[in-house]
Amino acid sequence: MQHIYSNPTFQLACDQFKLIADYLNISPDLRDRLMFPKRSITVAVPVRLDNGTVRVFEGYRVQHHLSMGPTKGGTRFSPSVTLGEVAALAMWMSWKCALAGLPYGGAKGGVQCDPRRLSPGELERLSRRYLAEMIPFIGPHTDIMGPDMGTNEQIMAWFMDTYSARQGYTVPEIVTGKPLSVGGTYGRRESTGRGVVYLIERAAHLINLKLVGGTAVVQGFGNVGSIVARGLTHKNGMKVIAISDVSGAYRNEDGIDVRAAEQYTKEHGSLEGLPGAESFPPDELLTIPCDVLVPAAISGVIHGKNAAKVQCRILAEAANGPTTVEADKIFFERWQDVFVIPDILCNAGGVIVSYFEWVQSLQSFFWRETEVVDRLFRVLEQSFGAVIKRSKEQKIPHRIAALAIGVEKVMRARTQRGLFP
């Protein structure tokens, strides 16, 4: 079926949903209501560039469902972002929030741009104008933005400032992932990576895998990948033997110095030329033998052609949608070799701490970092336990269990509220 969302990532999210709908026996009239986004907004974002010309960027926001509270989700600045990709990410946010028990529907937004090619001034003008175009559609009780790929604390501060300037007073609860100085929370920046590491530890415990001295491979070295790499090495004594970013892939069998790599990317903008590591073809990264494999970049990277060659004990999906449905079928047959921590569970730490930040902003009552981390782990523990229990009891893959729990909660809210009018 052709529609405005047609795109491989949206197709992946729909294919996953259809499997769940069959498994849960969802009636045909409810399927489309649950799958298609409630609202999609596309805006033109005109920005004056430093050379004096004006360029119009395309901006999107998709609000997937409104049945359980406001919508919540990040904003992605990337050259490849499309309405269909944003719609898929919004749908995943819905199941992710429901699985974690957060009172939100899913949303996601994006601007088609390459933030690394914009000057700081251009980036600020783009961020402010995108947010200004979105003002009629968002609000602290309607839709709350947060960070995603290509956006950061500074951009969240500009979003918050632009919204507040229109209201005439400060509205910190309109975005999460803000700097601490303007009402952000302790631990948001580290939250996604920290959650991934926590769940890897839990999975390792379940399958009796000793992490100390083990090996890990991390795809993507942004806010999530670098923090996971740090947690696996410094906290768990693992060796990160290969990492990658947009510039390429880099390996060292004796272990990459993660802190030095973080410092290097800060100074050079990417991992290109990283000392103490050898560059190799990025498409070999995911099939390197290792104990823990962490895709922390983009969607669709593990597919029907490479899934059988993946050689890890734990696949920790820090990215959204890294594994296709074809690859999932292969992993289901290999369930005794590979323990999959599905994305909507694995990377939920980010939105969980975003929820904590929204609560703190609404109440103007702030928590200490230990309280944030403690509560984060408690929510993750509960979700992890529920997924493992359902998977064991019904002999279904972890992803089906995780999605089923999320979809069921949304469906219950939908049907209990009834159809309007």
**CA separation for the pair 173, 151 (Å, rounded):** 18
**Position closest to ligand GLU via CB:** 146
CB of 389 to ligand GLU, least distance (A): 23
If one asks whether residue 189 binds ligand GLU (CB under 6 A), the answer comes out as: no
Residues acting as catalytic residues:
108
Contacts of 17 (CB under 8 A, 6+ apart): 31, 34, 35, 91, 403, 407
In the list 354, 360, 361, 391, the residue contacting ligand GLU (rule: CB under 6 A) is 354
CB of 38 to ligand GLU, least distance (A): 17
If one asks whether residue 94 binds ligand GLU (CB under 6 A), the answer comes out as: no
If one asks whether residue 183 binds ligand GLU (CB under 6 A), the answer comes out as: no
| Span of 69-77, 115-123, 237-245, 279-287 interacting with ligand GLU by CB under 6 A | 69-77
If one asks whether residue 222 binds ligand GLU (CB under 6 A), the answer comes out as: no
In the list 67, 78, 223, 320, the residue contacting ligand GLU (rule: CB under 6 A) is 320
In the list 59, 74, 84, 109, the residue contacting ligand GLU (rule: CB under 6 A) is 74
If one asks whether residue 194 binds ligand GLU (CB under 6 A), the answer comes out as: no
Q: Measured from the CB atom, is 151 or 233 closer to ligand GLU? A: 151
Q: Based on the number of CB atoms within 10 Å of its own CB, is 368 exposed (0-12), middle (13-18) or buried (19 or more)? A: exposed
If one asks whether residue 245 binds ligand GLU (CB under 6 A), the answer comes out as: no
3 state DSSP class of 255: coil
In the list 59, 105, 146, 187, the residue contacting ligand GLU (rule: CB under 6 A) is 146
If one asks whether residue 350 binds ligand GLU (CB under 6 A), the answer comes out as: yes
CA 174 from centroid of its chain's CA atoms: 19
Q: Beta 143-147 vs 71-78: how paired, if at all?
A: parallel
Count of residues in the chain: 421
Provide the token pair at 254: 């004796």
The secondary element (H helix, E strand) that includes residue 356 is: helix 349-363
**CA separation for the pair 401, 20 (Å, rounded):** 9
Helical axes 258-268 vs 223-230, angle rounded to 10°? 150
Binding footprint of ligand GLU on the chain (CB under 6 A): 72-74, 146, 148, 176-177, 320, 347, 350-351, 354
